[in-house]
């Protein structure tokens, strides 16, 4: 019997030492490398933030220019990857397409220089650059079109929206999405980042690291919640129906997507910023009826569950923003993934700097020395196993 206390979901158990980000869940504070998220959302860009996360400090003018240049000219993906994506079923979820495509990058690029800073940089640039292209490519392909290639004179986020819709987006739309990417870039040891770290600790290639993290992010308890929030709002349908719908959820003790967090016991600071971004979009492009339902949901949930520390999390308002930007609902989580690649890569690099393979223990609860029963003496009623 182990002497360590078992904590389901590893709640409160430190699994690493990290200087990448910090969350104070009681005060609603999030910092990347010590800088408040509010400051980064207002003053930085996604790519500058990615640099900060991965290399530990804000880049100088020349460093940022060089980094943006490298990312810009690495956006294209091999035709074999595009052709592979053409074989995916159109009805497949874009997160599955992204996981498969991210893993496929490993077929093209070597894994043998994990101790070489130039290799780390090239892999980080490649992943940051190509993941948005692959998300947009699957969207085009499933509509029956050829993927739209990147346009070199467009910045990172503008280019992503361009590849998605085949037209250069409105400036405010691109700016708002860029801030969304900054807000989603990193969040300490969440499930997908832990997945990335465990995979990284085996010294496998960075494409496998990102692919495993994408698979983990996809679940509805994690990044997949943003998609389900919109489905919930659609099911509710009207402001008047919010309270009865939620009362039924409380009664059935079902989880309301976009609310609650392992660490935050107040409103997620990212949700506050996202809400303001949504309002900016509504002001320019027209108010969204879904927003009124969302506001009422937040009000009722705060009233009923606020005393238990359940408030809106990052996934609650992000969907409203993405929807207003015209992004299809099942691309919400891939957009989250585009951003979180920065955090996964930062943790990959940090993990390699002081690596030890993750190999925790368990508390065994099964039998010992159990007899092997010959097949003819085993239970035969098939229904017992169904
Ligand atoms: C993200 O970890 C990160 O940092 C993640 C993330 C990131 O940036 O990487 O912030 C991104 O994943 C945001 C979370 C998205 N998921 C959802 O919105 C799904 C809905 N929320 C939950 O299922 C839940 O709050 C979690 C998964 C986010 C947190 O799970 P915990 O910490 O394991 O909490 P729990 O499920 O054990 O809940 C504790 C209590 C329970 O009640 P009791 O059994 O104690 O009576 O709170 C209740 C839960 O029923 N509760 C909720 C609820 N969330 C928790 N009740 C209703 N609705 C909810 N959403």
| Average pLDDT for 7-34 | 97
Spell out the domain ranges in the chain.
17-221+329-353, 225-324
Answer whether residue 297 shows pLDDT above 50.
yes
Architecture of the domain whose range is 225-324: Orthogonal Bundle (1.10)
CA torsion, ordered 317, 321, 322, 324, to nearest 10 deg = 140
Give 262 Cα–ligand 1 centroid separation in angstroms.
6
Strand partners, 23: 30
Residue nearest to atom 24 of ligand 1 (CA): 260
Residue nearest to atom 38 of ligand 1 (CA): 260
CB distance 53 to 344 below 8 Å: no
The domain made up of 17-221+329-353 has a fold known as Citrate Synthase; domain 1 (1.10.580)
The answer to whether domain 17-221+329-353 and domain 225-324 are alike in fold is no
Q: Is the pTM of this model over 0.75?
A: yes
The Cα 240–Cα 236 span in angstroms is 9
Residue 310 Cβ inside 6 Å of ligand 1? The answer reads: yes
Average pLDDT, the chain: 95
Largest CA distance in the chain: 75
Residue 258 Cβ inside 6 Å of ligand 1? The answer reads: yes
**pLDDT tens, position by position, 169-212:** 999 999 999 999 999 999 999 999 999 999 999 999 999 999 99
Residue 228 Cβ inside 6 Å of ligand 1? The answer reads: no
With the most atoms of ligand 1 within 8 angstroms of its CB, the residue from 197, 254, 260, 340 to mutate is 260
CB distance 81 to 105 below 8 Å: yes
Residue nearest to atom 45 of ligand 1 (CA): 308
**pLDDT tens, position by position, 320-370:** 999 999 999 999 999 999 999 999 999 999 999 999 999 999 999 999 999
Answer whether residue 2 shows pLDDT above 60.
no
């Amino acid at each position: 019997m182990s002497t360590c206390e078992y904590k389901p979901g590893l709640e409160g158990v430190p699994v690493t030492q990290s200087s990448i980000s910090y969350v104070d869940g009681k005060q609603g504070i999030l910092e990347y490398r010590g800088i408040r998220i509010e400051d980064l959302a207002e003053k930085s860009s996604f790519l500058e933030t990615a640099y900060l996360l991965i290399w530990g400090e804000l880049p100088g003018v020349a460093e940022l220019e060089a980094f943006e240049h490298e990312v810009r000219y690495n956006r294209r993906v091999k035709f074999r990857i595009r052709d592979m994506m053409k074989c995916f079923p159109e009805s497949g979820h874009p997160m599955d397409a992204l996981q498969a495509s991210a893993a496929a990058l490993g077929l093209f690029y070597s894994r043998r220089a994990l101790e070489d800073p130039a290799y780390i940089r090239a892999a980080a640039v490649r992943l940051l650059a190509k993941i948005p292209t692959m998300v947009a490519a699957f969207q085009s392909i499933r509509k029956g079109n050829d993927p739209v290639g990147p346009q070199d004179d467009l910045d990172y986020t503008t280019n992503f929206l361009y590849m998605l819709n085949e037209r250069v987006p409105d400036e405010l739309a691109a700016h708002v999405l860029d801030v969304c990417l900054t807000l989603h870039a990193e969040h300490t040891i969440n499930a997908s980042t832990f997945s990335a770290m465990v995979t990284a600790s085996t010294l496998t290639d960075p494409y496998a690291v990102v692919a495993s993290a994408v698979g983990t992010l996809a679940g509805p308890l994690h990044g997949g919640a943003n998609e389900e929030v919109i489905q919930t709002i659609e099911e509710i349908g009207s402001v008047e129906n919010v309270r009865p719908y939620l009362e039924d959820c409380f009664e059935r003790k079902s989880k309301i997507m976009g609310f609650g967090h392992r660490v935050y016991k107040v409103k997620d600071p990212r949700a506050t910023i996202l809400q303001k971004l949504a309002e900016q979009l509504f002001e320019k492009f027209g108010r969204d009826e879904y927003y009124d339902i969302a506001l009422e949901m937040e009000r009722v949930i705060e009233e009923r569950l606020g005393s238990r520390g359940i408030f809106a999390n990052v996934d609650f308002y992000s969907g409203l923003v993405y929807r207003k930007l015209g992004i299809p609902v099942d691309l919400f989580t891939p957009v989250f993934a585009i951003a979180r690649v920065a955090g996964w890569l930062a943790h990959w690099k940090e993990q390699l700097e002081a690596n030890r393979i993750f190999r925790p223990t368990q508390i065994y609860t099964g039998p010992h020395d159990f007899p092997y029963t010959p097949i003819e003496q085993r239970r035969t009623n098939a229904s017992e196993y169904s």
